[in-house]
């Protein structure tokens, strides 16, 4: 499975019109022909605000994300082990290491609004 794994920062910017990266992310998403996917971790991070509102808001947002990006890529043992190695060698925080490992595991590109993640993941696209 190729395509593009979207970091949580990209999905949050896409969904938040007042986010400073919203315009650049929206442009990148509209212009790409590649399949856009998210990791389970991204689903978790994006659902925090809707979960604060209500269970229904959280459930509705999860359904919308699945419609837009398909079923999230699950955190497998392979990805977890790779993330540990990435964290050990780069100093990335665990969530960023998991996103990096997810993209690598499925042979996808990685898009992020996080400069440290973009620097640590070879070939990542920094959307800023």
Q: Are 82 and 48 in contact (CB under 8 A)?
A: no
Tally the C-alpha atoms within 13 A of residue 74's C-alpha that lie toward its C-beta: 2
- Joined together, the tokens standing for residue 122 give 């070879």
> Given CA atoms 70, 25, 34, 93 in this order, what sign does their dihedral have?
negative
Domain 4-126 annotated CATH 3.40.1280.10? no
pLDDT digits (tens), the chain, 128 positions: 679 999 999 999 999 999 999 999 999 999 999 999 999 999 999 999 999 999 999 999 999 999 999 999 999 999 999 999 999 999 999 999 999 999 999 999 999 999 999 999 999 999 99
**Rounded to an integer, what distance in angstroms lies between the CA atom of residue 99 and that of residue 104?**
9
| 3-class secondary-structure state, position 125 | strand
- Taking the alpha carbons at both ends of the chain, their separation in whole angstroms is 26
């Amino acid at each position: 499975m190729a395509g593009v794994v979207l970091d949580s920062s990209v999905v949050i910017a896409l969904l938040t019109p007042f986010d400073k990266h919203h315009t650049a992310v929206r442009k990148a998403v509209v212009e790409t022909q590649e399949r856009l996917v998210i990791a389970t971790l991204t689903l978790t991070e994006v659902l925090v605000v809707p979960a604060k509102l209500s269970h229904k808001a959280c459930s509705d947002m999860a359904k919308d994300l699945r419609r837009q990006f398909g079923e999230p890529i699950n955190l497998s043992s392979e990805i977890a082990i790779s993330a540990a190695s990435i964290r050990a060698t780069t100093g990335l925080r665990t969530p960023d290491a998991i996103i990096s490992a997810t993209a690598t595991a499925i042979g996808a590109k990685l898009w992020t609004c996080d400069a440290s993640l973009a620097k640590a993941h070879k070939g990542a696209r920094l959307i800023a």
